[in-house]
Structure 1
């Protein structure tokens, strides 16, 4: 019997929550856990991963008693504050192939493409209104150094007979579809696009409740004690469970074993006031999701309401994977994002910003989500490390975790992502964070130079190449 202490999240105040959540007036819909109870499977975390896992379990074993314990409310973490971009793993086919082999890599890519179709069916049937628009995902270059970043994945797609998954696009098509001349070449994944991520999270919560999943929000888990059964401690009481799934995103990194595989950064996003007339004039009328090929990637979309949601990777690195309220919002109001927004869309220079927010992201050394059980604890499972990409990936994660919970021997439990974490570990502190901050600073310098088609020096090039898993 062992005890595992979990970090208690610092919930963002209303003014620091994402535009997506604030626009819906999102909040808890279920009571906090109280007293003593028992279930077959307890899931720690009510974001996409936890909700999809619960739904997959109910699909396969409707009789299971499944309980989700969520520290704040479902979707209040990364699931409700991301950029709303929906694309498959075909853009990661080269990374997947290197880490899990060609056959498994292609199977995982197809699984995420199937997950997109599942989202489309949920939308079309009226089950979940998530503002899904499958108008394509564009991965582009706006500087010479970014050219061809997609080529390793696109080449493997062509060799696998999947050339249409990442189709080349040129400057004219990019401008026509995005209204911007900043990028001039790239690829498009046609069956991809955007959602309102908080709508998806709250819709999954409602779907899980309708299928008999017990959900308790405002119920942070402070401790898990292994055993038969396991015990989960919350402020209101104790839940006993035959199996436990840790699906708490960045907060899972507080566990010493998972901390060896994960590092936590923040990512910042801004949402403009409605500027539909300007965007219409530029020709940006669709629901495409767009990324560039910087190492600290830009990602953006036009919302149904005519706003631009514009995000950038990078951000602070949490020392020892400890972070608090400072990760919920940066004090600069999104200045870095605004600078890049003005470069990509000069016509929006000076536009009013309706909301800016940030938050912690769990990144794995493998740059892919990782699954397994804690060492010596077959009843305590985890699925973490989504690296900011999860809308089409978490439905697949739910299948993997459900198979592990049910003890099945199938394609999901045998996935190459199961056990991958132990092959991709990070150095101890303080080397990890000091090194990460140095590398990320070098990446920022390199990005800023290369976006102007200038070349960084050899030291910056070397340091910026040391990103884990690449």
Structure 2
């Protein structure tokens, strides 16, 4: 099994760049906009800005390589916000909830069109997604939200018979399923590195291996220090996601960093075809911290599990850069879903940090110290398509536009906060362990303990995450 520290997707993407060169900032520069963070959010923001105002002088700085964070190591599930409609309605009102569901569906199409136009071979496949129940307790969970989506004429989901669910998902474990065409899968490393290439072709300067070592937040222009050069910028975008709390203490209680752990097999196309995995649809079960899986074009099977490691004090710990320490959990899930596939087929595991907000939704805004500095984070495991929307929001804020994005309830900063340490970490452990006990009982068709059921509801209220 692969043991190097680069996650599989990202390593595969880098291997495809035979002529890769790294530009490091080595002088003082002055730009109109400096974007800190070279992942999906930062690159989409840069691209949207350049599309709107081609004359802008934009620089992106990235402490490692573009895509080396969450953007190059997630599960590649491009999902919409339709299953979060009830949460969206509660947080932002009915009209905005409807708009955001539609916008999240449009984002998938927009990303596909962008890749086609700019010849980004991201293995993007519009094969939909299948939400399932893998034990009796999960059956019927989608009914309330589907009823609301149907009432508003925005329901893209259709129920499938159990035999079709099992045949199309490749697993007899599933008891119920709903399918939506409004979803896709993608090789995230290929996508983020493709965005970098396109951004550079548009004239955006990208400096990799250029960490921010300091920022003078209250002055104008904003002064950003790096090891070998200083950047003076009229506007700044903080697209740091999991790294925000450690660099900007004001956000230390607005998110909690939690791992999503993934494994991928060697190419086994014949075995996958035999169990029914013949396309790129994503399959997601009804857990709080979900199982998710999909096949790749070359016949590999990727399976992931969210909600394992919770970081104390939101430190971006070494665990996020290593092969998964939750191999046994992944192995157990692999055996349960695919008993005919051998564990020896597993080729690699890796871990990613997800910045989970209290509401389960991302949030955007301007720093209190300086309205010329804008930020966005808290995607909560649903960011592959939503980062395109984040780029729309942040570019609109930078340009001072008055539009549906800047008027959105998403642009109000964090709506709630986690307790301070050590209470946050202790609480997270108590809830995580209660969820584990509850779901193990449900898998065994046993009644969970009353306390575990009620503790699990505290996480369930924010919606599913970590894909």
Do these two structures clear the TM 0.5 threshold for a shared fold by scoring above it? Answer: yes
- 1:213 maps to 204
Q: What is the 5 A alignment of 1:227-246?
A: 227-246=219-238
| Alpha carbons 2:118, 2:198 under 8 Å: kept | no
Alignment counterpart, residue 276 of structure 1, candidates 269, 275, 280: 269
**Hey, what's the Cα distance between the residues in 2 that align with 1:50 and 1:358?**
21
SS of residue paired to 1:346: coil
Alignment counterpart, residue 322 of structure 1, candidates 315, 321, 343: 315
Alignment counterpart, residue 17 of structure 1, candidates 6, 11, 27: 6
**Hey, what's the Cα distance between the residues in 2 that align with 1:326 and 1:279?**
31
- 1:378 maps to 371
Alignment counterpart, residue 442 of structure 2, candidates 430, 444, 450: 450
Taking a change above 3 Å as real, the CA distance of residues 140 and 48 of structure 1, as seen in their structure-2 partners, is same
- 2:249 maps to 256
**Hey, what's the Cα distance between the residues in 2 that align with 1:95 and 1:222?**
37
Aligned residues: 456
- 1:180 maps to 171
Quote the offset at 1:148 in angstroms: 2.0
Alignment counterpart, residue 351 of structure 1, candidates 319, 330, 344: 344
Cα offsets for 1:379-402 (capped at 9, x unmatched):
111100111111211111101101
2:353 is aligned with 1:360: yes
- 1:43 maps to 35
- 2:70 maps to 78
Q: With structure 2 as the length reference, what TM-score do the two structures score?
A: 0.94
Quote the offset at 1:338 in angstroms: 1.3
Quote the offset at 1:469 in angstroms: 5.3
| Alpha carbons 1:273, 1:351 under 8 Å: kept | no
Alignment counterpart, residue 308 of structure 1, candidates 286, 295, 301: 301
2:154 is aligned with 1:162: yes
**Hey, what's the Cα distance between the residues in 2 that align with 1:111 and 1:350?**
40
Cα offsets for 1:31-83 (capped at 9, x unmatched):
11112101111111000000000011111111111111001111111111010
| Alpha carbons 2:261, 2:326 under 8 Å: kept | no
| Alpha carbons 1:29, 1:217 under 8 Å: kept | no
**Hey, what's the Cα distance between the residues in 2 that align with 1:84 and 1:73?**
19
Cα offsets for 1:247-298 (capped at 9, x unmatched):
1110012221111211111111000111111111122111111100111100
Taking a change above 3 Å as real, the CA distance of residues 235 and 469 of structure 1, as seen in their structure-2 partners, is farther
| Alpha carbons 1:266, 1:317 under 8 Å: kept | yes
- 1:91 maps to 83
**Hey, what's the Cα distance between the residues in 2 that align with 1:469 and 1:173?**
30
SS of residue paired to 1:33: coil
Alignment counterpart, residue 421 of structure 2, candidates 424, 429, 433: 429
Alignment counterpart, residue 51 of structure 2, candidates 59, 81, 89: 59
**Hey, what's the Cα distance between the residues in 1 that align with 2:335 and 2:63?**
37
| Alpha carbons 1:148, 1:186 under 8 Å: kept | no
| Alpha carbons 1:424, 1:469 under 8 Å: kept | no
| Residues 40-49 or 438-447, more deviating | 438-447
Cα offsets for 1:391-448 (capped at 9, x unmatched):
2111111011011111111111111101151x21111111111111111111111121
Unaligned 5+ runs, structure 2? 463-467
Alignment counterpart, residue 135 of structure 1, candidates 113, 127, 147: 127
Cα offsets for 1:1-30 (capped at 9, x unmatched):
xxxxxxxxxxxx981222112223358643
Taking a change above 3 Å as real, the CA distance of residues 35 and 365 of structure 1, as seen in their structure-2 partners, is same
Quote the offset at 1:234 in angstroms: 1.1
**Hey, what's the Cα distance between the residues in 2 that align with 1:167 and 1:420?**
35
| Alpha carbons 1:274, 1:305 under 8 Å: kept | yes
**Hey, what's the Cα distance between the residues in 1 that align with 2:460 and 2:413?**
14
SS of residue paired to 1:174: helix
- 1:394 maps to 387
| Residues 167-176 or 383-392, more deviating | 167-176
**Hey, what's the Cα distance between the residues in 1 that align with 2:179 and 2:208?**
39
Deviating above 6 A after TM superposition, structure 1's stretches of 4 or more consecutive aligned residues are none
| Alpha carbons 1:296, 1:444 under 8 Å: kept | no
| Alpha carbons 1:365, 1:468 under 8 Å: kept | no
Cα offsets for 1:81-122 (capped at 9, x unmatched):
010111211121111111111111111111111111112213
**Hey, what's the Cα distance between the residues in 1 that align with 2:457 and 2:326?**
29
**Hey, what's the Cα distance between the residues in 2 that align with 1:155 and 1:258?**
36
